[in-house]
Amino acid sequence: MPSQKFLARLKERIAERPGAPALRWRDVTITYSDLARMVDDATAELASSGLQRGERVAVSADKSPELVVLLIALWRAGHTVVLPSRDLGSAALAMLANAAGVSRLVTPSPVLSEPTRPEGVYHAPPAGDSLLILTTSGSTGVPKLVPLSPRGVDNFFDWAATAFDIRPGARVLSYAPLNFDLSLLDVWASLAGGATVTLVEPQFATDGSYLAHLVDSHRITVVQAVPMVYRLLADLSIGPVWFPDVQHVVVTGDSAPPRLLPELARMFPAARRYNLYGCTETNDSTMYEITDAAERQLPIGSPLPGVDTRVITCDGDLLDGPGSGELWVSTPFQASGYLDPNVTRDRFVPHGDTVFYRTGDVVHRDEHGVLTLEGRADFHVKVRGARTNMAEVEHVIQRHPDVAEVAVVAVPDDLAGNVLHAVVSRREGSALNSLKLRQLCMEGLARTAIPTTITIVDEALPKTSTGKVDRTAVKTRYTERI
Amino acid sequence: MPPTEEIKEWVLRNFAPDVTPADLPDDYDLIASGLITSLSLVRLVSGLSAEFGVDIDAADLRPDYFRSVASIAEFLGAAPQPQA
């Protein structure tokens, strides 16, 4: 909860229960009074590091108590903090710092700050009263900067504390890195609520037995994590494990594989289980409580209290009742836009007094208003009047054992609306041809979804900086000559 | 009537250049496989007409006539030759 109210609440927690555990890290327990002392020390170090009060800074560091402490100290001194992904290389980090108007990089333990640019005037887009700027991955490869609204995070704190019983005595696992919005719940809502946060060590984050030991020995009551974490726990070689202390299990960040669901029920016999959907821009938006152990595709559920949703069909019409379309949400938690107002205009749409965020996700809404994810909006196009999911076409083609990579792209066409082109990179030495793939398409797809051209290539497909197939480059390289 | 092999080569050259004639069975369903769509049917027919010098009446644009190389061969064999 990077907000003035967060700082005020934390102060209250420190005064109320100074001896209560705030953070647990390795074998160390840091109480609320320890935390207060550490924040005071960091504040003193910051003052001697040459930082100007209120200066916008970036912090790129692995999770640790020192990082948590540094962030609190920075907010207390009025700094707006940009938390970039730890995966960014130094060149990408410098670019991001520039776009974010960051003047200094700050590191915890020891607290040091170094300028991100030599000198002079630089453009710093206003971030309002935001104290924390997160980034989103963005499918185009350029991270977008999201200044969180303090009022939004305060609202989120209130909701999360009630929904997951985050209060003194609660023990919350912090799995996600601090630059993920998930940490708003795991770390900041927990500290504001007087709970205990167990920090997962990043270097052991994919070690299932380490995680199981942590959840068990720290008697964790709240777990929020991506499906992969539950998979790691379910696949332990020591055999079936279960965690009777866990009261709330939150699956988020990705679609849960159906096979995981019976295992969730088994591993967390006393817990309420939820599928939680949201994005950095709006924070959590919809939730579905899982009340059975069936293997199935989980809905993302219904809007959280105070959340308004719209489903917009691919013709741009507002859907009334059941059906499919792009999900637009307006939440009490949301940012007022991106740091770059030009990007904001594309995704944040005013509608009367309400500003909706276009999620880019296609959902199906049933007759009870329950939402289920269908895919990304950019993957849906109309071909000869039929709504076609290009991800599904790729999926069908990918089934052929000789297919190494596939990209399906849509090219606008006067007659057909869109024409689909598939570009397939075949495995070395294979004799794959387009007829064999058409056979698969014929069996698995509607006629309109079968690509008009299937181009077979022997080289790897072009990639984005994050390693995903770059559809724009595929389109330019292979389809412009068709 | 043009030989089946010539029709096959022409269809592949225009609609699936990566495929060799030997890989395309005479009865392969060009329409169900999406190789020929309702929109590209016109292109197929006008191309065939120009390539093989046959007159095709608009009324004859029935997908079934163009469903496979075999059915195209049969159809072209039946189509009237243009007047000299």
- Residue A359: how many CA atoms within 13 Å on its side-chain side? 29
- In this complex, is the C-beta atom of A450 within 8 Å of any C-beta atom belonging to chain B? yes
Q: What percent of chain A has pLDDT over 90?
A: 61
Under the banding of pLDDT at 50, 70 and 90, the label for residue B9 is very high
What's the pLDDT at B41? 83
Query: How many C-beta neighbours within 10 Å does residue A255 have?
Result: 15
Determine the pLDDT at residue B1: 57
Distance from CA of B32 to the nearest CA of A (A): 6
Residue A418 sits at the chain B interface (C-beta within 8 Å) = no
Is a pLDDT exceeding 70 seen at residue A1?
no
- Mapped onto helix, strand or coil, the DSSP state of residue A87 is coil
CB A20 within 8 A of CB A197: no
| Residue scoring higher pLDDT (A259 or A307) | A307
Q: Minimum mean pLDDT among A110-114, A389-393, B63-67: which range?
A: A110-114
The pLDDT tens digits for A85-125 are 877 767 777 888 888 888 888 988 777 777 776 444 456 67
Residue A382: the pLDDT is 81
Q: What is the mean pLDDT of chain A?
A: 90
Contact residues on chain A for B37, CB-CB shorter than 8 A: 384, 416, 447, 452
- Cβ atoms within 10 Å, residue A360: 16
Residue A257 confidence (pLDDT) above 90? no
Please list every residue in chain A whose beta carbon sits closer than 8 Å to the beta carbon of residue B24. Answer: 435
Q: Count other Cβ atoms within 10 Å, centred on residue B79.
A: 19
Domains assigned to chain B: 4-78 (1.10.1200.10)
A435 inside 8 A of chain B by CB: yes
Domain locations in chain A as residue ranges: 4-205, 384-479
Domain A4-205 maps to which CATH number in 3.30.450.40, 3.40.50.1950, 3.20.20.70, 3.40.50.12780? 3.40.50.12780
Beta bridge partners of A375: A362
Question: Is B33's CB within 8 Å of A456's CB?
Answer: no
Give contacts of B18 with chain A, Cβ < 8 Å.
433-434, 454-456
Host H or E run for residue A134: strand A132-136
CB A389 within 8 A of CB A444: no
Closest CA to A145 of A61, A89, A81: A81
Give the helix, strand, coil percentages of chain A, each rounded to 5.
Answer: 30, 30, 40
**Tell me, what's the pLDDT at A262?**
95
The verdict on A43 touching B (C-beta cutoff 8 Å) is no
- Tokens standing for residue A87: 């995966």
- Residues A438, B34: C-beta atoms closer than 8 Å: yes
Residues of chain A with C-beta less than 8 angstroms from the C-beta of B19:
433-435
> What residues of B are in the A interface, CB distance below 8 Å?
16, 18-20, 23-24, 28-29, 32-35, 37-40
Please tell me which residue, A141 or A376, carries the higher pLDDT value: A376
A442 to chain B, any CB pair closer than 8 A? The answer is yes
Domain spanning A384-479, CATH architecture: 2-Layer Sandwich (3.30)
Q: Assess A403–B contact: CB distance below 8 Å, yes or no.
A: no
Report, in angstroms and rounded to the nearest whole number, the Rg of chain A calculated over CA atoms: 24
More confident residue, B82 or B24: B24
| pLDDT average, residue stretch A39-64 | 90
pLDDT tens by residue, A140-182: 446 789 999 999 999 999 999 999 999 999 999 999 999 999 9
CB A382 within 8 A of CB A388: yes
pLDDT value at residue A264 = 97
Kindly tell me if the per-residue pLDDT of A327 is higher than 80: yes
Q: What is the pLDDT of residues A297-317, one digit of tens each?
A: 899 999 999 999 999 987 789
